[in-house]
Amino acid sequence: MNVHERIAALRAAMSKAGVAAYVVPGNDPHASEYMASHWCEMQWLSGFNGESGTVVVTMDKALLWTDSRYYLQAGIELKDSGIELMRESDIDCPSVVDWLAEHVNGIVGVNPEMFSVNDFAAWKEQIALKSIDLIKPLWTENRPAIPQDKLYPYSADFAGESVESKLARMREQLAKKGANALIVSALDEIAWLLNIRGNDVEYNPVVISYVVLENDKCTLFVNPAKVDTVAQNYLDFNAIDVKPYEAVFEHIQGLKGTVLFDGARVNEALFEAIPEACKKINAKSPILIDKAKKNAVELEGERIAMRQDAVALTRFFKWLEELKDDSGKWKVERLTEWDLMEKLHAFRLMGENFVEESFGTIAGYLGNGAIVHYAATKENCAIVKPEGMLLLDSGGQYLDGTTDITRTIWLGGPIPQQAKLDYTYVLKGHVALGRARFPRGTRGNQLDALAKQFMWEAGITYGHGTGHGVGHFLGCHEGPQNVRTDNNPTALEVGHIISDEPGIYRTDKWGIRTENLITVIPAPQTKATTTEDEWLQFETLTLCFYDTSLIEMSIMTKEEIDWINAYHKRVYDEVAPLLNEEEKAFLAQKCKAL
């Protein structure tokens, strides 16, 4: 079926089911950022292949909401589909539920597996909802299967804590809340809790599964084909029961007492399976909270991964620089963004314990760098010339940890003064956040302005978050901590890892972003301290030089220059022992003191 035929078939199913509208969000049952293709229902129905979107179909309209990252892509892919683009980042664009409340007089159908408990409840306050899956009966041809790759144990030598210890801590948390069962559906939480990993979702070493933790048992709901003898022995050793993936609903229906769940991450279908007689507690997952605070082994693993990543990046930038001949031209006939992505991946593959990338590399040349979530493909990518700006945002999944780094470099030619100013505003904000010292209890949104202050003075800002949490050989994006304008009540705590990535984006010219990963550590008391509060600061984990040719030195302070010089010395000291002599010489030049 083409898009028109799919929508027509959906409308026929809607009429039969008695619903006036049907909503297909770009979600999966596990609240995942990256999804297995089996659940790409929004993409299948609409033909739009962006990662974020929601389709609404009524008897006479079809609309797709997506944000500004995907306006251009959606405009192309929705052409002639009959689906109207709703530009949700625009101020005057109504939300999906507001539009439904105003335009639909009747019942709205949704698949409860694709809605969190919290979102479903919020929508019910405005519109009449019916839990029904109308896509599954329609999408029968060429629908990808749920991945069946094997799960594998993740050694406590990397995790830093045994499964027994984690289960005991979570049961203590249950007892404190007066609960005797915890429903877990977020894949990264399951991977962390049981020290297991898998290959089910691109860029995320997770296993598609559910877990129900009770006082006297822990049950993993997973396709039996994913559990080989080694995995079964591991699960048996840790007293983890295994049941089929679909059996989670029947198991939940048999629960008694008080059930704890995180309504932001558990889907509505699981919630509806909880017996009415059970007391229900909707609270932030204790796994989410504990997982975010990395232990000493995890942090040391991150430092090891950062050194491996730094070697790959050093080799990549050396290769790129040496690709130019003495006249400043490329030695190859043609170089594209895709070529850069493949080359960086090849260098990372050489690293010890490298598994895969932590997200799709963003290699944005010139104006493409101004598209925040730009994604080049082999068929659709820019030709890179030995001139102008290149933004490179990439990361790796290592058994030791997860990396995420952005560097912006100048490839050649005269540097415009505005480019130098933009780069320096970004760098100054990046350094200001990395140098921050703050009392315990400080939240990320209270630090956000540190990274923006210099560009604000120049009348410039950016729309994305300044910092996101990062997992340990798990998701490159995790919570609950972050640094952004939104009022997140989560205070930054020792062991949290966040990114530090301010940016400036000039349409059709360039994008500039500088990103390190930093972790919260205790700060020493000083004689100037006037309170008894405990103080915190950041340790920079990422190890890679900045392009100092882009720095406008006239607006840099001595403290900023000293920080960069000290950072570059540390980069060289930690990375050089892993390089050959030519690579050391290249790195020494890049880390030369300002």
Mean local confidence (pLDDT), 464-482: 96
- Mapped onto helix, strand or coil, the DSSP state of residue 53 is coil
Given this model, what pLDDT does residue 72 score? 79
Q: With 70 as the cut, is the pLDDT of residue 530 above it?
A: no
Mean local confidence (pLDDT), 99-119: 97
Given this model, what pLDDT does residue 209 score? 98
The topology (CATH level 3) of 296-590 is: Creatine Amidinohydrolase (3.90.230)
Mean local confidence (pLDDT), 61-69: 91
Greater pLDDT, 178 or 524:
178
Given this model, what pLDDT does residue 374 score? 86
Mean local confidence (pLDDT), 542-547: 98
Given this model, what pLDDT does residue 132 score? 97
152-284 and 296-590 have identical folds = no
Q: Distance between CA 334 and CA 225 in Å, rounded?
A: 45
Given this model, what pLDDT does residue 168 score? 97
Q: With 90 as the cut, is the pLDDT of residue 527 above it?
A: no
Q: Are 25 and 114 in contact (CB under 8 A)?
A: yes
Q: Distance between CA 173 and CA 185 in Å, rounded?
A: 17
Mean local confidence (pLDDT), 569-583: 98
Given this model, what pLDDT does residue 339 score? 98
Greater pLDDT, 491 or 525:
491
Tokens of 393: 């945002």
Q: With 80 as the cut, is the pLDDT of residue 526 above it?
A: no
Omega before residue 480 within 30° of 0, cis: yes
* Spans of all domains in the chain: 3-131, 152-284, 296-590
Q: With 80 as the cut, is the pLDDT of residue 226 above it?
A: yes
Q: Which residues contact 26 (CB under 8 A, 6 or more apart)?
A: 35, 40, 42, 43, 50, 51, 52, 53, 54
Tell me: the pLDDT tens digits for 380-394?
Answer: 999 999 999 999 999
Which of 88-92, 320-324, 374-378 holds the top average pLDDT?
A: 320-324
Greater pLDDT, 89 or 347:
347
Q: Residue 304: which pLDDT band, with cuts at 50, 70 and 90?
A: very high
- Mapped onto helix, strand or coil, the DSSP state of residue 119 is helix
Given this model, what pLDDT does residue 351 score? 96
The topology (CATH level 3) of 3-131 is: Creatine Amidinohydrolase; Chain A, domain 1 (3.40.350)
Class of the domain covering 152-284: alpha beta
Q: With 90 as the cut, is the pLDDT of residue 242 above it?
A: yes
106 φψ region: left (φ > 0), alpha (ψ -120 to 50), beta (else):
left
Q: With 80 as the cut, is the pLDDT of residue 140 above it?
A: yes
Per the confidence metrics, is the pTM higher than 0.75? yes
Tell me: the pLDDT tens digits for 409-467?
Answer: 999 999 999 999 999 999 999 999 999 999 999 999 999 999 999 999 999 999 889 99
Given this model, what pLDDT does residue 355 score? 97
Q: Residue 372: which pLDDT band, with cuts at 50, 70 and 90?
A: confident
Given this model, what pLDDT does residue 443 score? 97
Tell me: the pLDDT tens digits for 228-240?
Answer: 999 999 999 999 9
Q: With 80 as the cut, is the pLDDT of residue 362 above it?
A: yes
Mean local confidence (pLDDT), 32-36: 91
Locate all alpha helices (DSSP H) within 62-162, ordered by sequence.
71-77, 96-103, 117-124, 156-159
Tell me the one-letter amino acid at 498. Answer: I
Given this model, what pLDDT does residue 484 score? 94
Given this model, what pLDDT does residue 69 score? 72
Tell me the one-letter amino acid at 259. Answer: V
Q: Residue 529: which pLDDT band, with cuts at 50, 70 and 90?
A: low
Q: With 70 as the cut, is the pLDDT of residue 113 above it?
A: yes
DSSP symbols for 490-553: PBP-TT-EEEE--EEEETTTEEEE-BEEEEEEEPPP-TT--SS--EEEEEE-------GGG--G
Tell me: the pLDDT tens digits for 252-279?
Answer: 999 999 999 999 999 999 999 999 999 9
3-state secondary structure 101-117: HHHCCCEEEECHHHCEH
- What Rg do the C-alpha atoms of the chain give, in angstroms? 25
Q: Are 590 and 317 in contact (CB under 8 A)?
A: yes
Q: With 70 as the cut, is the pLDDT of residue 160 above it?
A: yes
Least Cα distance to 237 among 179, 163, 180, 131 occurs for 163
Q: Distance between CA 536 and CA 370 in Å, rounded?
A: 34
Greater pLDDT, 433 or 533:
433
Tell me: the pLDDT tens digits for 244-254?
Answer: 999 999 999 99
